[in-house]
Amino acid sequence: MFSLVVFVFQPIFAQQQLRIGTDIPLLYGIAYKYSPEKGIGGGLKAGILTEPHNSIILAAMEAFGTKSVIVDIVREGFKMGIVLDGNASWHWNKNYVGANLIYINLSAGEAPLDVIDGNYDLDLEYSPILTSLLGQETMQINLHSCLMQVGVHYGRRIPLKDKLELQLEFGISKNIDSTNNFSSDFPYPLTIYNAIDEDLQEAYRKYAIIPTLGVYLVYNI
């Protein structure tokens, strides 16, 4: 009976993989993947978005046409993010091609007040006095963004020794939705937040197009 169970389930477990590596310029991460020799597979990936990846993405967005004010706000406002990637793929002859749904949570950071003041008519002529009275933390605007991306990818499996292999992936994703939240201890006008939110959403929707090169060391369970 035990031999029968092993015989039935061994092919399933033989196609499960643990992966560690990077998607340049999106994340450093770990992943679980189901990779049959031929057929439908899939997996989950979790990682962090930090330097130098975020600077590369911002440079690409700026090259595509993102307003410099938005690039400055994002560059100063976010230093790290959490990335979750769910994917499905078709496998054949050590190749695979598939689709991704990617969630990016950009951790809350301090938006640059001088940039906001110069572009959104935020009258901060009195800010030195208020800052000295209330403190910098009270005047600061905190920004938090969440992005949803859809993408496609192609990958190649390269066997190494024992249960190890190398996987190379080429992919691209595009933004389909985003939400931005603002907070401050100072009562700034809501119109300022709305204006920044509209510009951020437009920039993400038009220019958050992220090509990636994935390099993963894989252990076949």
Residues 89-104 have pLDDT tens digits of 999 999 999 999 999 9
Per-residue model confidence (pLDDT) at position 70: 85
Does 157 have pLDDT greater than 90? yes
CATH class belonging to 28-220: mainly beta
**Mean per-residue pLDDT of the chain:** 85
pLDDT exceeds cutoff 60 at 6: no
Element (H, E) at 166: strand 164-183
Provide the residue ranges of all domains of the chain, joining segments of one domain with +: 28-220
pLDDT for position 192: 84
Q: Is-contact 83 119, C-beta < 8 A?
A: no
> Quick one: pLDDT band at residue 126, thresholds 50, 70, 90?
very low
Q: Is the pTM of this model over 0.95?
A: no
**pLDDT over threshold 50, residue 8:** no
Cis peptide before 11 (omega within 30 of 0): no
Give the rounded percent of residues in the chain with a pLDDT score beyond 90. 50
